[in-house]
Structure 1
Amino acid sequence: MQQIIQSIQLGAKKGSDACRLFHGRGHCYPGLEFVSVDWFSPVLLISLYKEPEAQCIKQLTAELTQFESDQVIENIILQHRYLKGAPSENLKGDIAGDYYAIEKSLKFRLNFKANQNVGFFLDMANCRQVLREQAKGKRVLNLFAYTCAFSVVAAEAGASKVVNVDMAKGALNTGRLN
């Protein structure tokens, strides 16, 4: 648990780009493979991929309350991805209004009240960077576009044309806002 807390203390900085602070699913932290922690300033999103022991949640909550007054964390959301519908609970604050992921000065609308995904995948940051480097002057077809983050990056990088395709019209509407 201490590795998670240290990652949050080091990475949760006001105004910083959205980033994954802890990736237990990378199997580098034995016993914590079911946890990921994402930072969307000022929101901390903790996703659990299997049900932890009750003591684990109590310990995490206790640890977070010890240092949060010194941090810029306004909201802490605990998402239970192992449950049907992936329900979330607020450990701190209340999610109201619009929130955005910021990555290299680009803004991407988030939905913390969605069932499973907030609309921006932090583990795809390296792919977005490659796209930034290679999109200039190219035509880009974004299949399974979801909220169009790759398309926003391609357009900003100078793509000559960007087309988005997704079966979920609501996701594409979010993409238009991005």
Structure 2
Amino acid sequence: MARAAKTDAAPRERLMKAAELFYTEGIRAVGINRVLEEARAPIMSLYRIYGSKEGLVEAFLADKDKRVRAMFEREVELIADTPRERVLAMFDVLGQLVSGADYRGCAFINAAVEMADPDHPFVGIAVAHKEFVREAFSRYLTEAGLRETESLATQLLMLVDGVFVSAQMHSDHADTALKGRMAAEVLLNAAFEAQPN
């Protein structure tokens, strides 16, 4: 069994790397033959490891979710010392993400829009990812001393999604993220000012 796992490692990694095409060009636009050509892998490897194109897309989105979560948690902790600063640092990290040369929008928003079916498994992964972001905001707000966090956490998530989409449509990605951060700071200050002592 260990030998089989070792044999599958190379095609598994090549297929996952080729699956980035689903992000850069679209899930429906990229056919399985294109993925196999990019991965230099036979179709039987795809079927054996992932079962189908849909299985590969699902594995790709789950892996992307895991990597993006880890990146946000790591980077926010590096640049912010207090919970309140961490709320705004989410937008600083977002600025780094949308300014990347390979930025093609939010993979999760893209998948949800492309599938156009709230019950599709890919959309479920996207929704779970967005829930992670909302929960991170809620946690930081609670740690900062805000008693009612749910509404503001949802508003901040909406700002994040707005930055993702705006940065996809406009060329000044860093400025888009900065404006999102400024709007988040206004919301944050207003919430603390409105909180009874």
TM > 0.5 between the two? Answer: no
Larger Rg: 2
More helix by share: 2
Larger RCO: Structure 1 or Structure 2 (Cα < 8 Å, ≥ 6 residues apart)?
2
More strand by share: 1
TM-score between the two structures when normalised by the length of structure 2 = 0.28
